Amino acid sequence: MEYILSANALYKQYGHYKVLNGFDLNVPRGAIYGLVGKNGAGKTTFIRIICGLQKPDAGDFTLYGTKGGSREIIQARRRMGAVVETPSLYLDMSAEDNLKMQYRILGMPTFEGIEELLLLVGLPGVGKKKAGHFSLGMRQRLGIAVALAGNPDFLMLDEPTNGLDPQGIVEIRELILRLSRDRQITVLLSSHILNELEKLATHYGFIDGGRMLKEVSAKELEKSCRKCIRISVTDTAALACVLDEFGAQYQVLSEKEADIYAQVNASELILALSKKGCNVQSMQERDESLESYYISLVGGRMDAHNKGMGEI
């Protein structure tokens, strides 16, 4: 398999805190690669290193087969585009002028293709409008247009749907799919909003504590996702206590719901819960979600007060 980007044992440390701790990664050509991890897991630091905004303390990476520490890496980086954290835009300039500035930075001989780029990202007819007057979704799309200015075949997007309303999220999702399908652009997409990644990614990398826990294709993930029992109860704190006594693996979803990843005797469970004053309202078998799969990888359990379903 051909990889656009590979990382090998990358380390990055701030004081005593290791942001990247022997991090490995392989992005296949043509993939939409979802880099999955909670905030602070090391996703942005990794992307900044690939973009040349930071240097690793140890380890290396290759981009288009070019070593990260070589002189040729500058040329390799010209073949990729990136939006890191938030789009780097001149808010007092128009969309068109933002793109012209990027063209100049890249040394492109003409401004040909600017209107086509704005149309591609869903911003037709706003070339003269200042970016400071754009919505968050429009700024994100303009940021992607700027990243596409050099006609890259690899795009890195750091939390591209962060802070967007539902309509903005849909627009960014459709844009990414269109870039992959119509332009054959390989995309690395970091996110902690898992229900969006499930609609996009062809491959996943699960990062926690600066380490790669597992890389898997979407097809492999679909096969390996376990079934679970979704249980609704009057008190998940009591449920957690009983399941701990049973030695069962589980994930608390809210104050009323949890997923159980074990074969349990329903009668024994209901009886044990009843003794703790907890009633079972419903039980049904479900396939494991991407969110649940990630939680099982990191070995953690979501707090009963964490209501952010679809996010980690």
Q: State pLDDT tens for residues 15-38.
A: 999 999 999 999 999 999 999 988
Task: Give the model's pLDDT for residue 79.
Answer: 92
Measure the CA angle with vertex 108, ends 105 and 111; round to 5°.
Answer: 100
Report helix angle 236-246 to 266-275, nearest 10: 120
What's the whole-number mean pLDDT along residues 293-305? 62
Confidence of residue 307 (pLDDT cuts 50, 70, 90): very low
Instruction: Give pTM, 2 decimals.
Output: 0.77
Confidence of residue 308 (pLDDT cuts 50, 70, 90): very low
Q: State pLDDT tens for residues 111-159.
A: 999 999 999 999 988 888 899 999 999 999 999 999 999 899 999 999 9
Task: Give the model's pLDDT for residue 26.
Answer: 98
pLDDT over 80 (residue 221): yes
Q: State pLDDT tens for residues 248-292.
A: 989 899 999 999 988 889 999 999 999 999 999 999 987 767 877
pLDDT over 80 (residue 42): yes
Best mean pLDDT range from 34-43, 49-58, 297-306: 49-58
Task: Give the model's pLDDT for residue 290.
Answer: 81
Q: State pLDDT tens for residues 44-74.
A: 999 999 999 999 999 999 999 999 989 999 9
